[in-house]
Amino acid sequence: MTLIQLQPGPTSATPVHRTVAEAMDTAGPQVCDDMTVEVALSVMAGARTGHLLVCDDGGLWTGLLTHAQLTAARDSSAYTDRVQLRDIFGNRGPFTSPVTTVAEAEHAMRRRRLDALPVVDEHGSALGVLALAR
Protein backbone atom coordinates (compact mmCIF):
# COMPACT_ATOMS: atom_id res chain seq x y z
CA MET A 1 0.00 0.00 0.00
CA THR A 2 1.47 3.24 -1.05
CA LEU A 3 1.55 6.54 0.70
CA ILE A 4 1.44 9.25 -1.93
CA GLN A 5 1.70 12.99 -1.70
CA LEU A 6 -1.51 14.48 -3.00
CA GLN A 7 -0.01 17.93 -3.30
CA PRO A 8 0.38 20.02 -6.44
CA GLY A 9 3.52 18.90 -8.28
CA PRO A 10 5.56 20.60 -10.98
CA THR A 11 3.49 22.29 -13.64
CA SER A 12 4.87 19.96 -16.32
CA ALA A 13 3.46 16.90 -14.53
CA THR A 14 -0.19 17.82 -15.29
CA PRO A 15 -1.46 16.48 -11.95
CA VAL A 16 -5.12 17.06 -12.92
CA HIS A 17 -4.99 14.28 -15.52
CA ARG A 18 -2.78 11.82 -13.62
CA THR A 19 -4.73 8.65 -12.83
CA VAL A 20 -4.82 6.68 -9.61
CA ALA A 21 -3.13 3.77 -11.43
CA GLU A 22 -0.19 6.06 -12.29
CA ALA A 23 0.05 7.37 -8.73
CA MET A 24 -0.15 4.15 -6.77
CA ASP A 25 2.32 1.39 -6.17
CA THR A 26 0.74 -2.07 -6.05
CA ALA A 27 3.14 -3.30 -3.38
CA GLY A 28 1.82 -3.80 0.11
CA PRO A 29 0.02 -6.32 2.25
CA GLN A 30 -3.20 -7.84 1.03
CA VAL A 31 -4.69 -10.40 3.38
CA CYS A 32 -7.39 -13.03 3.05
CA ASP A 33 -10.69 -12.55 4.88
CA ASP A 34 -10.28 -15.87 6.72
CA MET A 35 -7.28 -14.48 8.64
CA THR A 36 -7.77 -13.98 12.38
CA VAL A 37 -7.71 -10.55 13.96
CA GLU A 38 -4.51 -11.28 15.92
CA VAL A 39 -2.63 -12.40 12.82
CA ALA A 40 -3.90 -9.36 10.89
CA LEU A 41 -2.66 -7.06 13.65
CA SER A 42 0.75 -8.75 13.45
CA VAL A 43 0.86 -8.34 9.66
CA MET A 44 -0.09 -4.70 10.05
CA ALA A 45 2.65 -4.12 12.63
CA GLY A 46 5.23 -5.89 10.48
CA ALA A 47 4.28 -3.87 7.42
CA ARG A 48 4.20 -0.65 9.46
CA THR A 49 0.86 0.36 8.01
CA GLY A 50 -2.41 1.55 9.51
CA HIS A 51 -4.68 -0.41 7.18
CA LEU A 52 -4.97 -3.71 5.33
CA LEU A 53 -6.64 -4.52 2.04
CA VAL A 54 -8.78 -7.62 2.59
CA CYS A 55 -9.63 -10.04 -0.21
CA ASP A 56 -11.61 -13.28 -0.42
CA ASP A 57 -9.99 -16.57 -1.42
CA GLY A 58 -10.61 -15.71 -5.08
CA GLY A 59 -8.61 -12.48 -4.81
CA LEU A 60 -11.64 -10.19 -4.96
CA TRP A 61 -11.68 -7.16 -2.70
CA THR A 62 -13.95 -7.47 0.32
CA GLY A 63 -12.92 -4.42 2.34
CA LEU A 64 -10.33 -2.23 3.98
CA LEU A 65 -9.65 -2.57 7.70
CA THR A 66 -7.85 -0.06 9.86
CA HIS A 67 -5.80 -0.62 12.97
CA ALA A 68 -8.53 1.09 15.00
CA GLN A 69 -11.20 -1.30 13.65
CA LEU A 70 -9.07 -4.35 14.41
CA THR A 71 -8.24 -3.27 17.95
CA ALA A 72 -11.90 -2.41 18.61
CA ALA A 73 -12.90 -5.91 17.45
CA ARG A 74 -10.19 -7.48 19.63
CA ASP A 75 -11.24 -5.43 22.65
CA SER A 76 -14.96 -6.22 22.32
CA SER A 77 -16.66 -8.55 24.78
CA ALA A 78 -17.68 -10.89 21.91
CA TYR A 79 -14.07 -11.42 20.79
CA THR A 80 -12.48 -14.87 20.68
CA ASP A 81 -9.23 -15.92 19.05
CA ARG A 82 -11.29 -17.52 16.27
CA VAL A 83 -12.79 -14.26 14.98
CA GLN A 84 -11.88 -13.84 11.33
CA LEU A 85 -11.68 -10.62 9.35
CA ARG A 86 -14.84 -11.50 7.40
CA ASP A 87 -16.67 -11.57 10.75
CA ILE A 88 -16.04 -7.89 11.49
CA PHE A 89 -17.04 -6.26 8.20
CA GLY A 90 -20.13 -4.10 8.04
CA ASN A 91 -20.11 -2.89 4.46
CA ARG A 92 -17.23 -2.70 2.05
CA GLY A 93 -17.14 1.08 2.07
CA PRO A 94 -15.95 3.43 -0.66
CA PHE A 95 -13.36 2.52 -3.28
CA THR A 96 -11.97 4.00 -6.47
CA SER A 97 -11.16 2.85 -9.98
CA PRO A 98 -7.61 2.88 -11.33
CA VAL A 99 -8.75 5.24 -14.12
CA THR A 100 -10.02 7.88 -11.69
CA THR A 101 -7.87 11.01 -11.70
CA VAL A 102 -5.78 11.71 -8.64
CA ALA A 103 -7.56 15.05 -8.28
CA GLU A 104 -10.97 13.33 -8.18
CA ALA A 105 -9.75 10.72 -5.69
CA GLU A 106 -8.19 13.37 -3.47
CA HIS A 107 -11.40 15.39 -3.49
CA ALA A 108 -13.51 12.34 -2.56
CA MET A 109 -11.11 11.33 0.21
CA ARG A 110 -11.03 14.78 1.76
CA ARG A 111 -14.82 15.15 1.50
CA ARG A 112 -15.36 11.79 3.23
CA ARG A 113 -12.46 12.32 5.64
CA LEU A 114 -10.69 9.15 4.47
CA ASP A 115 -6.99 8.53 4.95
CA ALA A 116 -7.00 5.57 2.56
CA LEU A 117 -9.07 4.45 -0.40
CA PRO A 118 -8.92 0.96 -1.96
CA VAL A 119 -8.26 0.81 -5.70
CA VAL A 120 -10.38 -1.90 -7.32
CA ASP A 121 -10.60 -2.90 -10.99
CA GLU A 122 -13.78 -3.56 -12.99
CA HIS A 123 -13.75 -7.24 -11.98
CA GLY A 124 -13.58 -6.50 -8.24
CA SER A 125 -9.90 -7.37 -7.87
CA ALA A 126 -7.95 -5.30 -5.37
CA LEU A 127 -5.04 -3.44 -6.97
CA GLY A 128 -3.79 -1.42 -4.01
CA VAL A 129 -4.58 1.45 -1.70
CA LEU A 130 -4.31 5.15 -2.33
CA ALA A 131 -3.43 6.96 0.90
CA LEU A 132 -3.18 10.63 1.75
CA ALA A 133 0.20 11.76 3.04
CA ARG A 134 0.02 13.61 6.32
Identify the residue with better confidence: 20 or 1. 20
Q: Domain range spanning residue 110? A: 2-7+18-132
Q: Structure pTM? A: 0.74
Answer whether residue 50 is part of any domain: yes
Total of domains in the chain: 1
Answer whether residue 52 is part of any domain: yes
Specify whether the CB–CB gap between 126 and 55 falls below 8 A: yes
Q: How confident is the model at residue 27 (pLDDT cuts 50, 70, 90)?
A: low
Strand partners, 54: 31, 63
Q: How confident is the model at residue 5 (pLDDT cuts 50, 70, 90)?
A: very low
CATH number at residue 22: 3.10.580.10
Q: What pLDDT was estimated at residue 29?
A: 84
